[in-house]
């Protein structure tokens, strides 16, 4: 990005928030992160829950995403809360386990209050299960506290009384661009672009072209999602790559397509995007309208 381009500090949060609010992207992400659990979630009935945490001096809650998702047990169905915390810096927030525990506790408190208001007779109170996961997009592995116990100071003898709360950490740096492109999931293909955002131009162009090719498969069964994924890609490259490269990224999706009809369709689709979403946000004077 050119030095005269003022960065949007919460761009990464907005990008992943937009992506994961699509239940299919969420399904593909969790299928990679927790393949043993994901098949039992009913992603057709995902409910996005507004975040509850509002503490002074803590960054905006755009970085936290909460989803209620039915989970199929052997004999019944149980509503579960999936907490996704977004982290983009290599030097991570050391309070992540505590932040996620507070989100879960506030969610449980709201459930408790709702149970108290229920008329008699009522079922025995049981907390809904919570699944916490950190999605880290930094270039290097996190060196942060990963459990509540990791955050505790002296005396060590008290550590055994700490609540057992250990989020799963899914780190983009642990996945090669090739493995992301080879995955049977369009959202993983999009993450390949994020993975190589700082690569040399030739390498980035190679991954960009291959990602566009892989996403063609999505167009065949969901044109709407295909367009949304391309919008995500263009939002990312227009924001993260140098401004001088922008014309190339607009031209490449058409140049790699041999089908004249498809090439025209892609060209028209890109034309409807107009200038990058990044530029439009500033022209409208409303950064919050980026996504």
Q: Give the start-to-end residue ranges of the domains of the chain.
A: 1-174, 176-291
Q: Which residues make Cβ contacts (< 8 Å) with residue 33, sequence separation at least 6?
A: 133, 168, 170
Instruction: Return the pLDDT at 185.
Output: 97
Strands (E) located in 73-128: 77-87
Q: Which residue has the tokens 């063609």?
A: 216
Distance between CA atoms of 288 and 201, rounded to whole angstroms?
30
pLDDT along the chain (291 residues), means of 10: 49 88 97 97 95 55 82 92 87 79 91 94 93 89 81 91 90 95 97 95 93 90 89 86 83 63 61 49 42 40
Instruction: Return the pLDDT at 239.
Output: 85
Query: Both tokens of residue 270?
Result: 């890109």
Q: Do the beta carbons of residue 165 and residue 11 sit within 8 Å?
A: no
Instruction: Return the pLDDT at 230.
Output: 87
| Torsional sign, CA 13, 19, 23, 27 | negative
Instruction: Return the pLDDT at 71.
Output: 97
Instruction: Return the pLDDT at 45.
Output: 97
Instruction: Return the pLDDT at 4.
Output: 41
Instruction: Return the pLDDT at 291.
Output: 40
Instruction: Return the pLDDT at 199.
Output: 93
- How far the first Cα of the chain sits from its last, in Å, is 20
Instruction: Return the pLDDT at 259.
Output: 61
Distance between CA atoms of 113 and 132, rounded to whole angstroms?
22
Instruction: Return the pLDDT at 128.
Output: 94
Name the residue among 177, 63, 52 with its Cα closest to residue 104: 52
């Amino acid at each position: 990005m050119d030095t005269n381009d003022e960065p949007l500090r919460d761009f990464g949060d907005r990008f992943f928030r937009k992506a994961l609010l699509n239940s299919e992207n969420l399904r593909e992400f969790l299928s990679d992160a927790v393949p043993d659990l994901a098949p039992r979630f009913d992603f057709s009935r995902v409910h996005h829950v507004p975040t509850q945490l509002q503490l002074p001096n803590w960054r905006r809650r755009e970085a936290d995403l909460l989803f209620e998702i039915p989970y199929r047990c052997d004999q019944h169905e149980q509503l579960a809360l999936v907490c996704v915390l977004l982290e983009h810096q290599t030097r991570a927030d050391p309070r992540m386990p505590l932040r996620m525990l507070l989100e879960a506790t506030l969610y449980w408190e709201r459930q408790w209050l709702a149970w108290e208001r229920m008329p008699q007779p009522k079922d025995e109170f049981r907390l809904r299960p919570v699944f916490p996961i950190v999605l880290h997009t930094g270039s290097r592995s996190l060196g942060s506290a990963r459990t509540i116990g990791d955050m505790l100071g002296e005396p060590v003898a008290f550590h055994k009384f700490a609540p057992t709360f250990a989020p799963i950490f899914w780190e983009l740096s642990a996945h090669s661009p090739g493995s992301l492109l080879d995955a049977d999931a369009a959202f993983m293909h999009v993450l390949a672009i994020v993975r190589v955002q700082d690569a040399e131009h030739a390498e980035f162009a190679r991954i960009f072209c291959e990602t566009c090719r892989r996403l063609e498969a999505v167009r065949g069964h969901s044109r709407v999602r295909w367009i949304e994924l391309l919008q995500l890609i263009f939002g990312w490259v227009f924001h993260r790559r140098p401004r001088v490269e922008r014309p190339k990224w607009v031209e490449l999706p058409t140049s790699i397509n041999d089908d004249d009809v498809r090439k025209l369709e892609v060209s028209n689709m890109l034309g409807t995007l107009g200038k990058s979403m990044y530029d439009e946000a500033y022209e409208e004077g409303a950064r919050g309208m980026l996504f």
